[in-house]
Amino acid sequence: MTRSDVLITADELLSRLTSTPPPRLLDVRWTLTKPDGRDDFAAGHIPGAIYVDLDTELADHDSTDATAGRHPLPSPEAFENTVRTWGIDTDTEVVVYDDNSSLGAARAWWLLRWAGLNARVLDGGLAAYREAGGELETGDSRAVEPSSVEISPGSLPVIDADDAAAWNGVLLDARAGERFRGETEPLDPQAGHIPGAKNAPATANVPAGAFLPEALLRERFADLGALDGPVGVYCGSGVTACHNALALASLGIEASLYPASWSGWSADPDRPVETGA
């Protein structure tokens, strides 16, 4: 993959919206403190967009296994049904965006790519679209004709806790530094990180809302040793880790996602914990 395979600029999106058919737009308004962004979507979104609920459509909360983490991946069957409700076929051009530095949008991008479908993230999100002169519409999602698409799950690599423990490469933790170091842990059973992991906060990919230029992204991940061998990514619950996977994909690097991430690892008392830098 290249940068243009995974990211789309606001100017390009505005041009593509005049095509027939236009891209399918997925709006993933989500933050840790406000996971339901339905009211923000209704207050203003890109015309034609569909609201995506990350907690219910991009995760499976029926699991009772704490080691599966706070945002387990949906089953292939459930995600296929969800994709069908979005009216997406194998040849549909899909653009996902949010208003939070693409942190939620990256999860939708990863799942669609994992399902063998085409998707790109709007670089800079809703703010970039508005700065480029794009107009918003209000109200609920527009109704779309469901598809009968059949997904190809497993098109991106996934690892489990045993794989992460024995990882023969670089393992990147996308959480903020204070959580990685174990200075604070507001959400999960233990503070710290997986032994041997390196801290690569996802927010550093987008210090001003849009992704760093390619040369600076490459420099960032080269400094972490993530360009020379196998790379795995995790975070608190498998959401913002997808942001690092997206950034690496823009450089032509395929990362393996540990979906359960720290929330799953730290829920297992038999897993070792490391603290500090």
**Helices marked H in 74-141 — which ranges?**
76-85, 103-114, 125-131
Do 165 and 127 lie in one domain? The reply is no
Q: Note whether 239 and 107 are within 8 A (CB).
A: yes
User: Considering its fold, how many domains does the chain have in total?
Assistant: 2
Answer whether residue 168 is part of any domain: yes
The predicted pLDDT at position 121 comes to: 98
Q: What is the pLDDT of residues 161-179, one digit of tens each?
A: 999 999 999 999 999 999 9
What's the CA gap between 79 and 111, in Å, rounded?
8
Answer whether residue 250 is part of any domain: yes
Active site residues: 235
Do 126 and 166 lie in one domain? The reply is no
Residue with the two structure tokens 């760093």: 212
Answer whether residue 42 is part of any domain: yes
Do 120 and 182 lie in one domain? The reply is no
The predicted pLDDT at position 64 comes to: 83
Scored b (16 or more CB within 10 A) or e, 231-250 reads bbbbbbbbbbbbbbbbbbbb
10-residue block means of pLDDT along the chain (277 residues)? Answer: 97 96 97 94 98 97 88 97 98 97 98 98 98 98 95 98 97 98 96 98 97 98 96 98 98 98 97 97
| CATH number of residue 232's parent domain | 3.40.250.10
Answer whether residue 116 is part of any domain: yes
Do 123 and 166 lie in one domain? The reply is no
Do 116 and 10 lie in one domain? The reply is yes
Q: Note whether 244 and 253 are within 8 A (CB).
A: no
Do 95 and 12 lie in one domain? The reply is yes
- Residue 172 lies in domain: 161-265
- pTM over cut 0.95: yes
Q: What is the pLDDT of residues 141-151, one digit of tens each?
A: 989 999 999 99
The predicted pLDDT at position 216 comes to: 98
Answer whether residue 151 is part of any domain: no
